[in-house]
Structure 1
Amino acid sequence: MTVLVFPGVRLLDVTGPIEVFTTANEFGGRYRVRTVSPDGADVVTAAGTGLRVDLAAAQVQAASDVVVIPGGPEWPCLIKDDALLDAMRGLDARGCRTASICTGAFLLAAAGLLDGRKATTHWRFADQLALRYPKVTVEADALFVRDGHIMTSAGVTSGIDLSLALVEEHLGADVARAVAKDMVVFMQRPGGQSQFSVRTHTPRARQEMLRRVLDAVAEDPSAPHTLAAMARRAGVSTRHMTRLFHDEMHTTPARYVEQVRMEAAQAMLEDSDDPMATVARRTGFGSPESLRRAFTRNLGITPGAYRARFRTTHTGVDGKGA
């Protein structure tokens, strides 16, 4: 595994994949990690942390299983760095797989390595990638995309998703799953970049009475959290409860409860082999059919498909990896 680094590189773009591959070595992998820079000099990351470099990119002789191209916040300047682009082209020519992390896709595109290919990058920059490089087909919502020997990933942590997919390709799903569990991360996240947890994309309630209701839903998603039940818990009318959710949570009570139940169901499907009837009952959906409808509506896949995706990265030869 060879990681091309440069001044201003994003630290997690580098360390995330390295952690995946070195952890895989604990489960039978034989990855040798090398950091290289265009001139062999050590670099300082965008976070201000120094990174030791093993050698210059031109000194890499043996082919690498994986060449990792990280990104950085100063990518508009980096795509004009001829020495960096030349180093990348040389590594790509000597590597088996080339994988970019986040805005590293801009470097690949600037070097002409994405021409005629599908690719992705961080959702904030997907439109710019498509605009600057019309020969690239941008998959804006994918967590990572494979097209031929090149893979591209979205935001920084999706580099971990991509790396797990490569570990599965090299060593099998069992090893990739062991690495994911050891690192306490998803084997493969369903959905795309637009998927966020309930607690991260809803604002904190200002009203104490509403916070009590939200806590009750989170503590026991299987309870009968009807509008009337929540209103009674808060000591307000159903109309007032609906207004509180609208004003403070920007959603409806029913929608919020479903989102919490979805997260609970996802956790059960990831961590257990319980029958669908058990998952549905314990997470408040009641029946497997109600569970299936909720998953199809929210994620576009069935609960069974979700469970299967968590057990493997399910990447094909070409196209979306997520």
Structure 2
Amino acid sequence: MAEDEITTPRPVDDAELAIEGALRPVSLAEFVGQQKVRGQLQLLLDAARIQQRPADHILLAGPPGLGKTTLAMIVAHESERPLRMSSGPAIQHAGDLAALLSSLTPGEVLFIDEIHRMARSAEEMLYLAMEDFRIDIMVGKGAGATSIPLDLAPFTLVGATTRSGMLPNPLRDRFGFTAHLEYYEPAELERVVGRSASVLGVALGDQQKAEIARRSRGTPRIANRLLRRVRDYALVHAGGAAADIAEVRAALELYDVDGIGLDRLDRAVLDALVKRFRGGPVGLSTLAVTVGEEPDTVESVVEPYLVRIGFMARTPRGRVATPEAYAHLGVPLADGALDFR
């Protein structure tokens, strides 16, 4: 192989980037699931269009991967307005927010992801901006400091949060509409998988779609990620763009995703809880050390799904495994293992 073939990186395929972007629906009609939220958003956007004004500020709350960013893009697209994107961790000073707000054009949609992680000083500046489209810029320090008002172009703020309880009440109350996104049903995920498969050029039957949907933890982002791995497996092992049920299962097993969507870390936590601690109760820190992960990772990544499917319970004394967890692992129920007191 020639030296330039080794050292020269392969250019990114524009067609592949276009396909990845096409996985996101561009209208509420194309968006699968969240029927109630879609109807509420449609009414809000239609009213703003009739009155020829920017739509009210929108807060999208819910677990990761359910489509908050996609809905923000759809709001901008259906409003026929430009979209500006930022994130809470990137806004750590009031000056950062002032620069962002002052550069907005009339009617522009500003999307702030993880809005609960903004700096407190920036949050307080946002109160006035959302309500009166104005901010106050402080010039100078000490007794000689003065406040200079700066008018802003009317805009629509779309905030996304995975922890709405961390938002201060004054900020939450200034949103005209708050949407709570729910986990998807298997039938809805099958539709998501079917649409994404057609975009990616993967031929899947109903059984294959159902298999991927069942292992996707109620989350479209995970469904699309698993679909990509199935596509890769079919391409490498079958040499084509079609995947039968055996190839779908083999691809998902290769990536340690079991029949109900548990991955390696999920099973490690369950194994430790059931086999090492006889079902608990056990403290979060002890459980995290046992599986070699940070407590925050176990609490925010693993626990929500295990609690939702009924494999784990959180009690005042610690985490406890349920009979369903024992049954899934094929372990006999330990005596006294389910003391929830």
TM-score for the superposition, normalised by structure 1: 0.26
TM-score for the superposition, normalised by structure 2: 0.25
Q: Which has the larger radius of gyration?
A: 2
